[in-house]
A and B are shown apart, each in its own frame.
Chain A
Amino acid sequence: MKKILWIFGTIALALLLDRAGGWFLAKITKESQFRYSRLYNGNEEADILFMGNSRGLSFFQPYVEEKTGFTTANLSYNGMPIELANTLVKDYLDRHKPPRVMVMDISLLDSTRMDNKIGYQFNHYSPYSGRLSQLLKDKVPNDYYAGKVSHLYRFNSEVFQRTFFYWKKSDKDWLLDRVISPEMVANVAAQKPLRFSYNEKMLNHLADLVKYAQGKGTRVELVMNPYYPEFVPKLVNLDTLIMDVQRTAGVTVKKYINEVQKTEAFGDYQHVNKVGAKLYLDKLMQDGVISNKPN
């Protein structure tokens, strides 16, 4: 029996360290200025809500706020799957005064670009949302239950590293700050065609999200953010995607894929940089997608 005791001792001490570490990191998560921490703290009140995958980060918040006078929130994340977007937006709407408008880039409807396992990266937010917990339980059960056994495991993710990075500072001003390389410009013709890979289930998630936002009184704008102009011909089924989205969500999709033409306005084929974001946002303001605050 004595020989077994060290095993129990090890497990007990490991659990103790795990719970203490988990408690401390949960405190950081709660205090963090990262967008999802603000979301779950109810501190992300905004007039304009943005959503998308990494391309959704081109909704450069400081510029919009400066130009429109509105407050903004952006829930976009790299490889964001539509189911997670649906969960986050609903959680946002339930915890805040509904925004005037929600602008969403629909290029997140592509299963080849989305990271289906990304859900587990949000595991450290699961204690704050029943909806998110249920999604993780359904999509990444092993990770979800591992997070129940080890609290520290919930924080073992890139999203938590960002949460930690923005512990004491805002994440609103982040945007790609590089110019597309000459090699990429030269190789654009050799790139493989990009086919949006989506299904009815994904479209239904989007429709559900749109309906939920509209039900709260939020105007929903669906857009297609700019691509590097020479890359646009590579988008083989874009029009079909747009038609399908319009059919299921009942909202017109505004196409801005060719809106930014300057090479120096792109970080790569699919992402505008700060220069491009400003040009694009000017156009959104001009078109009334995001309008100025009435004086």
Chain B
Amino acid sequence: MIFNSLPFFVFIGIFLPLFFSTKRSESSWTWASVSFATLVEAVLWYGTSQGWWNWPLHGLILAATIGSRILGPLKGQHLISLVGSYVFYGWWDWRFLFLVGFSTVLDFTLGLLVDRESDDKKRRQMMVLSIIMNLGFLGFFKYFNFFIDSAAHLLLALGFQPHLTTLRILLPIGISFYTFQSMSYVIDVYRRHMPAEKNFLKYAAFVSFWPQLVAGPIVRAKDFLPQFNHNHGFDWDRLITGTGRILWGFFKKCVVADSLSPFVDQIFMEPDAFTSINLLIGVIFYSFQIYCDFSGYSDIAIGFARVLGFKFNENFRTPYFSQNFSEFWTRWHISLSSWLRDYLYIPLGGNRGGKLGTYRNNMLTMLLGGLWHGANWTFMFWGFLHGMYLIGQRQLGKPFGAVMSGLRFPSPLKAVTNIALTYFFTCLAWIFVRATSFDKATDVIAGLTNLSGYTIVSMMNKFWVVKGVLLIGILLAVELTDLKMHWNSLAHRSTPFRIAAYATLLVLIAFFGSFGSGAFIYFQF
């Protein structure tokens, strides 16, 4: 189920009342919510003939509602959360629920065993088993064909005629996210950073928590599991701030990202057919498309979590205003970069192994970060470029700083130069993420550098460009002013401002938004 679709709004209409109704003091909510859920389904079934009168699904909702009453407020809420999350995920392909379920059972069991075991060697073996099993699943579903294809190419280059089998494997949405989340739980228990969770229902609700299940943010068990320790009732303040965040997320995804996508798609499909200026606009648009797509998802996830009473850490902090690459990686996909730092970079030795050791660790972390994003050499190369950027920054940062000081640039100009340079190299690397092959990526770079022309052909392209520039302008203006104005807190404090801001966002989403068609880019990762 994707956020920008009608089924999701039906899901929310049913889930929220059920979730909050688990508080004993609000027992009348339970039956009110069941009636409401039935009514929503019936109206949709009758009104649109969409076939949503799904008996097994409705039966499941009813059973979960009754089950939650029997289990009591806390466990009842865990049950509603778990069932809701499985419905949310299973809407896309219910067969992969077994994979989520298996991963949950495996890491829950291994977490308990690691916690109870006193022998360090055995503890380590169990932790390694968890890593092997999790990465094994990830490897099979995400990288099997990639490795087979790569091996076949290598053998062919060596003069052999390989007959290797590839399988038609469907990538389970979100596998990279929940696998990392579940795996890090066992590692944290092994490191004694947290005790093992003994309540299976709570653990399962944590692993599958729907707002972040398919595209993050990747949450840490030690931060997030304790949030399941108390029942979450309805709260107006959370609704207000959460709604603002959700609307802003929808604006970024449905309005900005999806409006940029048609232009970007055609540029990267046939780069040869476009002039340099078109390619340049296409690359810049893609940088904002991927940013708005992914950070929009994070905003929606953070907003819904807030409405439900949970707190996620921020996943993006205006990354294109970074002045260098170390800073970029503290602002872009923060939950992944901090995961890689804590579970890969530091265990590898971090920056404690001298210059060469640090460079090696930087490069390995970025290469694996690239591979995490997708099973393609272009992603690896993107990681390689970022590894090189970090190394280059360590090597050249000081001499570059000295040159800037020598030029006596005023501070703001220095900052702008740094931001522009970081953004330029970030965009260069994005080309390899968007292009479907190295050939296409090199076509784009060749087209950019041959300065072939300055015209934008076709009326629709002109439209897309004008619309894209306008929307990016709105985005940047809001994000820049937010550093001083803190719009969301203002919306919390001032009712007239909130009404005006939320109504404007709703209207913009209705007029510019794309619904149901544009899946989130990060679903494929």
A residues adjacent to B (C-beta < 8 A): 3, 6, 9-11, 13-14, 17-18, 21, 141-142, 145-146, 150, 152-153, 155-156, 158, 161-162, 165, 174, 178, 181, 183
Contacts and interface: CB of A to CB of B under 8 A. Distances in A.
A161 to B, nearest CB: 5
B511 A21 contact: yes
Given A6-B240, A13-B499, A17-B507, 4 more contacts: A3-B236, A14-B506, A165-B459, A181-B273
A156 B510 contact: yes
16 contacts: A9-B495, A9-B499, A10-B503, A10-B506, A14-B507, A17-B503, A18-B510, A141-B48, A142-B516, A145-B48, A146-B515, A156-B510, A161-B463, A165-B459, A178-B457, A183-B272
B8 interface: no
B262 to A, nearest CB: 9
Contacts of B6: 142
Contact of B463 (A146, A165, A174, A181): A165
Contact of A158 (B49, B460, B510, B516): B460
Contacts of B48: 141-142, 145
Contacts, number: 57
Nearest to B262: A158
B459 A156 contact: no
B459 A152 contact: no
From B272, B463, B500, B507, name the one whose CB has the most chain A CB atoms within 10 angstroms. B507
B500 A156 contact: no
* Interface size band for B: 20 to 34
A3 B243 CA distance: 14
B470 to A, nearest CB: 13
B510 A152 contact: yes
Q: Is the interface of A mostly helix, strand, loop or mixed?
A: helix
Contact of A181 (B49, B272, B495, B510): B272
A145 B43 CA distance: 13
Contacts of B507: 14, 17-18, 21, 152
Interface in B271-292: 272-273
Contact of B499 (A6, A142, A152, A153): A6
B105 to A, nearest CB: 38
B75 interface: no
A152 B500 contact: no
A158 B259 CA distance: 11
Interface string B223-250: 0000000000000100010000000000
Nearest 3 A-B pairs (CB), nearest first? A13-B503, A14-B503, A150-B510
A158 B261 CA distance: 14
Nearest to B273: A181
Given A17-B503, A161-B460, A161-B463, A10 B498 contact: yes
From A6, A146, A181, name the one whose CB has the most chain B CB atoms within 10 angstroms. A6
Given A6-B495, A161-B463, A152 B511 contact: yes
Nearest to B255: A156
Interface of B: 6, 47-49, 236, 240, 272-273, 457, 459-460, 463, 495, 498-500, 502-504, 506-507, 510-513, 515-516
Nearest to B272: A183
A155 B272 contact: no
Contacts of B510: 18, 150, 152-153, 156
Contacts of B463: 161, 165
A163 to B, nearest CB: 12
A184 to B, nearest CB: 9
A156 B460 contact: no
Contacts of B515: 146
Contacts of A162: 459
B493 to A, nearest CB: 12
A10 B491 CA distance: 12
A134 to B, nearest CB: 16
Contacts of A153: 510-511
Contacts of A3: 236
A142 B517 CA distance: 13
A292 B273 CA distance: 39
A161 B499 CA distance: 29
A153 B507 CA distance: 9
B402 to A, nearest CB: 48
Contacts of B502: 10, 14
A10 B499 contact: yes
A113 to B, nearest CB: 17
Contacts of A152: 507, 510-511
Nearest to B491: A6
Contact of A17 (B273, B457, B460, B504): B504
A161 B460 CA distance: 8
A214 B263 CA distance: 42
A273 to B, nearest CB: 12
Contacts of B273: 181
A161 B49 CA distance: 31
From A141, A145, A161, A181, name the one whose CB has the most chain B CB atoms within 10 angstroms. A161
Nearest to A171: B459
From B48, B236, B272, B499, name the one whose CB has the most chain A CB atoms within 10 angstroms. B499
